[in-house]
Structure 1
Amino acid sequence: MLQVKQVCQRLDINAQTIYYYERIGLISPQRSESGYRLFSSEDMENLRFILQVKLLGLTLEEIKELLNLKKGRSLSCQVVYDQLKGKIAEIEDKIRQLEGLKSELMPLLKQCEVNLHNPNPDHQCQVLNVNN
């Protein structure tokens, strides 16, 4: 059994992160008689899982759902597939939105480039004026 400090060192995470995960119900370490949190190898495995899937972009709520399924040992390939497919769809949607924003900003950037060559150093940038 490991205490918080040891877990933080092994997983390279902040103690506040562990406390937060416990508060929101992602983990539930045992307690010693004196109240210290004690982490089993299963707790460590769950924390590694949380950190790994968080890097993949899953929200803490999505991770909580996966952990609940995992606790019930019913974490099927279909469940993981569905979660990851949904996350990929969200990412693709964000990419489309960002591409649209980029398309709107590129003409403004080109206009700025033209204005940079203005011989008057006090020339005020008009690119973002609403009246343009």
Structure 2
Amino acid sequence: MLSNDRQQRYRELREQLEELRHQGEGDSLEIATLKTGVDRAQQFLQSQVLPVSISGLNSAEESRTQSYHTELHKQLRLLATDVLFLGSARQASTRQQRQAQIRDRLTTLLRYCDILLEEDSRPAE
């Protein structure tokens, strides 16, 4: 069962990722704005989500939560790289491919947040 503090931080991270997804939609994509949003989400994850103790969970929940934290961190780093590659894309087809990659990565990150938030609705084992 998640603490209210942890749950709130996952919600805030999810909101930031949703905002990024909306920024990444459409043809008038601003790379600088997207990069700033990714940087902010990475900073939030590192300063607000990862340091929060996951003690108090049973060992299976603790292990699962730690795995999702690792994946969130990895996917956010990859998202930052995708944004850099998008900024250097010259051809329209490459840009579209990079934008699709960014959308997929954001969908994955949002799914991880949803899974972590669902942990709270499960009865304690």
TM-score when normalising by structure 1:
0.32
Structure with bigger RCO (C-alpha 8 Å, 6+ apart):
2
TM-score when normalising by structure 2:
0.33
Higher helix share: 2
Larger CA Rg, structure 1 vs 2: 1
